[in-house]
Chains A and B, each alone.
Chain A
Amino acid sequence: MTERHEHVNYLNANYGIRSWLLTTDHKRIAILYLVSITLFFFIGGAMAVLFRLELLTPQSDLVTLDTYNKLFTMHGIMMVFFFLIPSIPAVLGNFLVPMMIGAKDLAFPKINLLSWYIFIAGGALTLYAVIAGGVDTGWTFYTPLSTGFLNTHVITAAVGIFISGFSSILTGLNFIVTIHRMRAPGLTWFRMPLFVWAHYATSIIQILGTPVIAITLLLVGAERLFHVGVFDPNLGGDPVLFQHMFWFYSHPAVYIMILPGMGVISEIVPCFSRKRIFGYSFIAFSSIAIAVFGFLVWGHHMFTAGMSVYAAMVFSILSFLVAIPSAVKVFNWTATMYKGSISYRTPMLYAFGFIGLFTIGGLTGLFLASLGVDVHVHDTYFIIAHFHYIMVGGMVMAYLGGIHFWWPKITGRMYPEGWAKLSALIIFVGFNLTFFPQFILGYMGMPRRYGAYAPEFQVLNVMSTAGASILGIGYLLPMIYLTWSMRYGQRAGDNPFGATGLEWQTASPPPTHNFEHPPIVHSEAYDYEHVEEMPVVG
Chain B
Amino acid sequence: MLQSIPFLPPEASTHATQVDLLFLFISSVVVFFSSLIAILVIVFAIRYRRSTHRKATQIEGSLALEIGWTVIPLGITMIIFVWGTVLFFGLNRPPAQSMEIYGVGKQWMWKFEHMDGQREINELHVPVGRDVKIILASQDVIHSFFVPAFRVKSDVIPGRYTYAWFRATKTGRYHLFCSQYCGTMHSGMVGEVIVMEPADYEQWLAGGPTEGSLAQNGEKLFQQLACNTCHRSDAAARGPNLAAVFGSTVTLNDGRKVTADENYIRESILNPQAKVVQGFQPIMPTFQGQVSEEGLLQLVEYVKSLKSQQAMPNDNRNPATVSPSEATTPKAKVPSK
Contact = CB atoms under 8 A, between A and B. Distances in A.
A371 B160 contact: no
Interface in B21-41: 22-23, 26, 29-30, 33-34, 37-38, 40-41
Given A275-B59, A443-B7, A149 B18 contact: no
A328 B59 CA distance: 17
Nearest to A232: B158
A369 B81 contact: yes
A417 interface: no
Given A339-B56, A373-B19, A376-B148, A316 B84 contact: yes
B9 A342 contact: no
B44 A145 contact: no
A337 B9 contact: no
A306 B155 contact: yes
Interface string A338-378: 11111110000000100110011001101101111111101
A341 B181 contact: no
Given A280-B61, A366-B26, A376-B153, A371 B187 contact: no
A275 B56 contact: yes
Contacts of B59: 275-276, 278, 335, 338-339
Contacts of A480: none
A372 B155 contact: no
A69 B56 CA distance: 53
B175 A324 contact: no
Contacts of B65: 279, 331, 335
A17 interface: no
Interface string B30-72: 1001100110110011001111001111111110011001100
Given A304-B144, A443-B7, A452-B187, A342 B48 contact: yes
Nearest to A72: B181
Contacts of B182: 145
Given A149-B141, A239-B142, A304 B30 contact: no
B270 to A, nearest CB: 9
Contacts of A304: 144, 153-155
Given A344-B45, A376-B151, A379-B144, A370 B37 contact: no
B81 A320 contact: yes
Nearest to A274: B56
B302 interface: no
A60 B151 CA distance: 26
A13 interface: no
A281 B84 CA distance: 33
Interface stretch (A136-144, A192-200, A247-255, A420-428): A136-144
A373 B49 contact: no
B158 A233 contact: yes
B89 A317 contact: no
B27 to A, nearest CB: 8
Contacts of B80: 320, 366, 369-370
> Secondary structure of the B side of the interface?
mixed
Interface string A303-325: 11110010011001100110110
Given A145-B181, A145-B182, A356-B37, A373 B48 contact: no
Given A313-B85, A370-B80, A447-B177, A239 B159 contact: yes
Given A138-B181, A338-B48, A341-B54, A449 B144 contact: no
Interface string A120-156: 0000000000000000101010101100111000000
B95 interface: no
Contacts of B181: 69, 138, 140, 142, 145, 448-449
A65 B85 contact: no
Given A309-B92, A371-B85, A376-B148, A331 B41 contact: no
Contacts of A341: 48-51, 54-56
Interface string B123-150: 0000000000000000011101010110
B51 A306 contact: no
B178 interface: yes
B283 interface: no
A11 B70 CA distance: 46
Nearest to A313: B85
Contact of A352 (B41, B81, B155, B175): B41
Nearest to A312: B88
A394 to B, nearest CB: 13
A239 B143 CA distance: 12
B8 interface: yes
A303 B84 CA distance: 12
Nearest to B154: A304
A370 B26 contact: yes
15 contacts: A145-B183, A236-B271, A239-B157, A240-B157, A305-B142, A335-B59, A337-B45, A363-B34, A371-B87, A372-B84, A379-B179, A379-B180, A380-B179, A443-B7, A453-B187
Given A342-B50, A445-B9, 11 more contacts: A275-B56, A304-B153, A305-B162, A312-B88, A317-B81, A330-B37, A334-B40, A371-B87, A376-B148, A379-B144, A451-B187
